[in-house]
């Protein structure tokens, strides 16, 4: 695993779980679709609430806006993924690009600009939100 701060390390772990589900679905495992939808929905919900809200007073709104737009696109593809192979391929491509953007730019930026206490608070809030029972 690459070195990084708390946010980078923990969020890479979360992304890894979603990639496993995505890869299983793309290999033809229909039972991985609902867990993928659930994990993706929870991840985006928690990320937007905990990280984006916490970070909104910082800088680099262009990066935030790109991430939010990708979340919106991913939700759209996820709604069609089961019936539309093209949507599944687009979802897979965008998901991997999105994870790459967050892992290479966004999370390292958070690690750099937030102190360790802020990082811990942000990740705790992420996990509380991620584990809530929510309907998408």
Quick: pLDDT tens for 2-61. Answer: 456 888 888 899 899 999 999 999 999 999 999 999 999 888 888 888 776 666 666 667
Task: Answer for the pair 2, 8: CB distance below 8 angstroms, yes or no.
Answer: yes
Asked if residue 33 belongs to a domain, the reply is yes
pLDDT in tens, 67-124: 889 999 999 998 898 888 889 999 999 999 999 999 999 889 888 888 889 888 888 8
The answer to whether residue 1 is domain-embedded is: no
The residue range of the domain holding 102 is 6-130
Q: Token pair for residue 28? A: 């033809």
The total number of structural domains in the chain stands at 1
Closest CA to 26 of 76, 91, 71: 91
On whether residue 135 sits in a domain, the answer given is no
Report d(CA 35, CA 55) in Å as an integer: 28
Helix ranges (H only) for 3-130 are 6-26, 33-46, 53-55, 61-80, 85-101, 107-113, 116-130
């Amino acid at each position: 695993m690459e070195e990084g701060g708390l946010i980078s390390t923990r969020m890479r772990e979360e992304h890894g779980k979603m990639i496993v589900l995505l890869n299983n679905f793309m290999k033809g495992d229909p039972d991985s679709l609902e867990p993928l939808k659930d994990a993706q929905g929870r991840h985006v919900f928690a990320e937007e609430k905990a990280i984006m809200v916490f970070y909104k007073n910082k800088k680099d709104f262009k990066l935030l806006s790109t991430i939010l737009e990708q979340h919106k696109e991913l939700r759209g593809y996820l709604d069609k993924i089961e019936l539309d192979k093209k949507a599944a391929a687009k979802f897979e491509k965008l998901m991997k690009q999105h994870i790459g953007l967050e892992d290479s730019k966004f999370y390292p930026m958070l690690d750099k600009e937030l102190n360790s206490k802020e990082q811990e608070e942000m990740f705790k809030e992420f996990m509380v939100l991620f584990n809530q029972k929510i309907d998408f």
